[in-house]
Amino acid sequence: DSGVTQTPKHLITATGQRVTLRCSPRSGDLSVYWYQQSLDQGLQFLIQYYNGEERAKGNILERFSAQQFPDLHSELNLSSLELGDSALYFCASSVGGPGTGANVLTFGAGSRLTVL
């Protein structure tokens, strides 16, 4: 157990729908990161929050949004879903924010989203 908890583990939904993925970071970690892993693709960085504030943004679609709550858990909202959004979504957490030396990311086991 990495200490990073993601729910749900699996989710099947239809095109046009909206889903929310949840992540609880490891105890003591202030940063949360979201990554998308599509078929034959690596881990694509989506967005990062540090202590409730957005700190870095990657290739995140406008249909996707995220937030980090005061208790430091984070949610990734995916709306107007398309078939191509089917992927494994990973959450990771770390103690520090951007620019922190050798900042180690601890990953959760991922949420597998299937859009039919």
Partner 1 sequence: KDQVFQPSTVASSEGAVVEIFCNHSVSNAYNFFWYLHFPGCAPRLLVKGSKPSQQGRYNMTYERFSSSLLILQVREADAAVYYCACQNYGGSQGNLIFGKGTKLSVKP
**Cβ-count burial 70-92 (b if 16+ within 10 Å, e if not):** eebbbbbebeebeeebbbbbbbb
For partner 1, which residue of 23, 78, 108, 111 counts as binding (CB under 8 A)? 108
57-96: contacts with partner 1 (CB under 8 A) = 57-58, 90, 94
For the CB of residue 93, give the shortest distance to partner 1 in the complex, in Å: 11
17-46: contacts with partner 1 (CB under 8 A) = 33, 35, 40-45
Q: Write the Ramachandran bin of 30: left for phi over 0, alpha for psi from -120 to 50, otherwise beta.
A: alpha
* Contact set with partner 1 (CB under 8 A): 2, 4, 33, 35, 40-45, 47-48, 55-58, 90, 94, 98-110
